[in-house]
Chains A and B, each alone.
Chain A
Amino acid sequence: AQKITQTQPGMFVQEKEAVTLDCTYDTSDPSYGLFWYKQPSSGEMIFLIYQGSYDQQNATEGRYSLNFQKARKSANLVISASQLGDSAMYFCAMREGSGTGFQKLVFGTGTRLLVSP
Chain B
Amino acid sequence: DSGVTQTPKHLITATGQRVTLRCSPRSGDLSVYWYQQSLDQGLQFLIQYYNGEERAKGNILERFSAQQFPDLHSELNLSSLELGDSALYFCASSVTGRTATNEKLFFGSGTQLSVL
Contacts and interface: CB of A to CB of B under 8 A. Distances in A.
Contacts of A103: 99, 101
A37 B108 CA distance: 13
A47 B92 CA distance: 11
B104 A102 contact: no
A20 interface: no
Contact of B45 (A42, A44, A97, A104): A104
A interface, over-half SS: loop
A45 interface: yes
A68 interface: no
A53 interface: yes
B25 interface: no
Interface string B59-101: 0000000000000000000000000000010101000010111
Interface in A60-117: 91, 95-97, 99-110
Chain B, interface residues (CB within 8 Å), range: 20 to 34
Given A43-B109, A44-B2, A44-B109, A106 B45 contact: yes
B13 to A, nearest CB: 19
B90 A95 contact: no
A70 B45 CA distance: 26
B2 A102 contact: no
Contacts of A110: 42
A31 interface: yes
Contacts of B107: 37, 44-47
Interface of B: 2, 33, 42-43, 45, 48, 55-56, 58, 88, 90, 92, 97, 99-110, 112
10 contacts: A32-B101, A33-B101, A33-B103, A45-B90, A91-B43, A95-B99, A100-B99, A104-B56, A107-B43, A108-B42
